[in-house]
């Protein structure tokens, strides 16, 4: 039996970005995209969309981000397709961030961590999005499971939707914003990590001034690039010196190029080229 420790997510992500670029492409089988691909809004249509997109895009990017909701809406058979997407992405050499935004009381969070981070589950991914809004400490099971399995987390800090600010920019009893306190907690988890910690934040490409340091020595998953209007210039403004740790994420911006596999691959490569400036 091997006793070697798993390579942490942060180190694996840093190497993947070096090899394949920093863009993350979301696998989001929206009903509207199925229609534009000429597919029916059925389980079979969703399966065709998700696997075509994953097989075309995953060989060209460091990481993909399936949005679980678009699979869950087809019930258990949709979740089975999600497991196949995870498998197909990994076979193509891409990391997988499962976008499920989970978080609950600690004992329930452990069950979510088992589902999405433990290799014994067919939904186990390299990283998972988590919600810290039951208190950062409620994420401990995700943190401990990540350390044990070599997975990572992305905690929602400053999300791309305009409604997020009403909670995330609220001032806590110690005078920090809620988002700043989440970022501080992530920075502490990443304190000794090199080249990159495994405990990341979600920060939208559509936000105004973050109002706090985004340097957490961990990855910054940045949705809102593309269809939601966020640009490379926005990311340079928002992230400043932390831009080197940014993983811009776009779903519809690439997926709308389908159903041609060649066009999807070209769109993924173009997105990668567009954001390459962030690391320089």
Ligand X SMILES: O=c1ccn([C@@H]2O[C@H](COP(=O)(O)O)[C@@H](O)[C@H]2O)c(=O)[nH]1
Q: Name the site residues for ligand X (rule: CB under 6 A).
A: 26, 28, 67, 99, 159-161, 202, 204, 223-224, 226-228, 249-253
Cβ atoms 21, 246 nearer than 8 A: no
Residues paired with 124 in a beta bridge: none
Q: At its nearest, how many Å lie between ligand X and the CB of residue 68?
A: 9
State which residue, 11 or 202, has the beta carbon closest to ligand X: 202
The CA-atom distances, in angstroms, between 193 and each of 89, 190, 261, 275 are 26, 5, 38, 25
Q: At its nearest, how many Å lie between ligand X and the CB of residue 230?
A: 9
State which residue, 41 or 118, has the beta carbon closest to ligand X: 41
State which residue, 42 or 161, has the beta carbon closest to ligand X: 161
Q: At its nearest, how many Å lie between ligand X and the CB of residue 251?
A: 3
In terms of Cα–Cα distance, which of 216, 228, 235 is closest to 276?
A: 235
Q: At its nearest, how many Å lie between ligand X and the CB of residue 148?
A: 26
Q: At its nearest, how many Å lie between ligand X and the CB of residue 83?
A: 18
CA 124 to CA 141: how far, in whole Å?
A: 15
CA 74 to CA 155: how far, in whole Å?
A: 26
Q: Which residues are catalytic?
A: 101
Give the DSSP per-residue string, 206-248. T-S---S----SS-EEETTBSTT-B-HHHHHHHHGGGGGGEEE
State which residue, 103 or 150, has the beta carbon closest to ligand X: 103
State which residue, 138 or 159, has the beta carbon closest to ligand X: 159
CA 105 to CA 99: how far, in whole Å?
A: 19
Structure tokens given for 65: 């981000």
Provide the strand spans (E) within 93-183.
Answer: 95-102, 127-130, 152-158
């Amino acid at each position: 039996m091997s006793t070697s420790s798993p390579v942490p997510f942060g180190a694996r992500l840093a190497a993947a970005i070096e090899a394949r670029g920093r863009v993350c492409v979301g696998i989001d089988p929206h009903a509207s995209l199925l229609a534009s691909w000429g597919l029916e809004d059925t389980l079979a249509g969703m399966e065709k969309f998700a696997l075509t997109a994953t097989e075309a895009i995953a060989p060209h990017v460091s990481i993909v981000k399936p949005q679980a909701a678009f699979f869950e809406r087809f019930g258990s058979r949709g979740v089975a397709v999600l497991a196949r997407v995870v498998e197909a992405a990994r076979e193509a050499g891409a990391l997988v961030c499962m976008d499920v935004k989970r978080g609950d009381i600690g004992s329930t969070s452990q069950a979510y961590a088992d589902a999405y981070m433990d290799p014994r589950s067919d939904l186990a991914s390299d990283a998972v999005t988590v919600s810290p809004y039951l208190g950062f400490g409620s994420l401990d099971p995700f943190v401990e499971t990540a350390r044990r399995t070599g997975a990572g987390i992305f905690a929602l800090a400053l999300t791309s939707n305009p409604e997020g600010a009403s909670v995330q920019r609220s001032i806590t009893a110690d005078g920090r914003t809620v988002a700043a306190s989440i970022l501080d907690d992530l920075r502490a988890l990443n304190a000794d990590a090199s080249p990159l910690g495994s405990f990341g934040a979600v920060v939208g490409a559509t936000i105004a001034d973050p109002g706090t340091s985004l340097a957490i020595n961990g990855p910054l998953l940045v949705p809102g690039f593309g269809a939601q209007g966020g640009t490379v210039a926005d990311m340079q403004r928002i992230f400043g010196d932390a831009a080197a740790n940014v993983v811009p994420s776009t779903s519809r911006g690439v997926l709308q190029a389908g159903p041609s596999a060649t066009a999807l691959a070209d769109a993924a490569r173009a997105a990668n080229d567009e954001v390459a400036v962030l690391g320089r």
